[in-house]
Amino acid sequence: MSFKILLVDDEKFVRTALKRVLRNKDYEIVEADDGLDALQKLEQDFFDLLITDNDMPNKTGIELISEITSGQKKIKNPEMNIILLSGRARPANLPLDVEFMPKPWDSEILITKVRQIQTKAVLG
């Protein structure tokens, strides 16, 4: 069973860089270019992990996370883990169970976080 990750960023080169970091790790990776696109994908498919940028047009990462965690949207896996990436400080209104990573990210730390989340998901 593969571990499915949704990468959300409005900048294609950032999504490409994230995919490069996570390649060869036996992950199935799907991309979305903003929060609205991400919500559509989350409503249609089951994801184990959401990695999202915060500063995006149409819907910010915080707005996306808020809709997911509040239950406003019916997504396939409301219990999925979330990592928020941002070039700014950790938002004060970010839920405590959401991981935060600054941009630019440290690839080894990102891989470690994703592996920890994957292990936690497998162990249930």
Per-residue pLDDT tens over the stretch 1-38: 689 999 999 999 999 999 999 987 789 999 999 999 99
Per-residue pLDDT tens over the stretch 31-68: 999 999 999 999 999 999 999 999 999 999 999 999 99
Residues 6+ apart with CB under 8 A from 8: 31, 32, 33, 34, 35, 37, 38, 50, 51, 52, 53, 56, 61, 64
**Structural domain boundaries in the chain:** 3-123
**Mean of pLDDT over the chain:** 93
Q: Give the per-residue pLDDT at 1.
A: 60
CB 7 within 8 A of CB 53: no
Give the whole-number percent of the chain exceeding pLDDT 70. 98
Q: Give the per-residue pLDDT at 73.
A: 84
The third-level CATH classification (topology) of the domain covering 3-123 is: Rossmann fold (3.40.50)
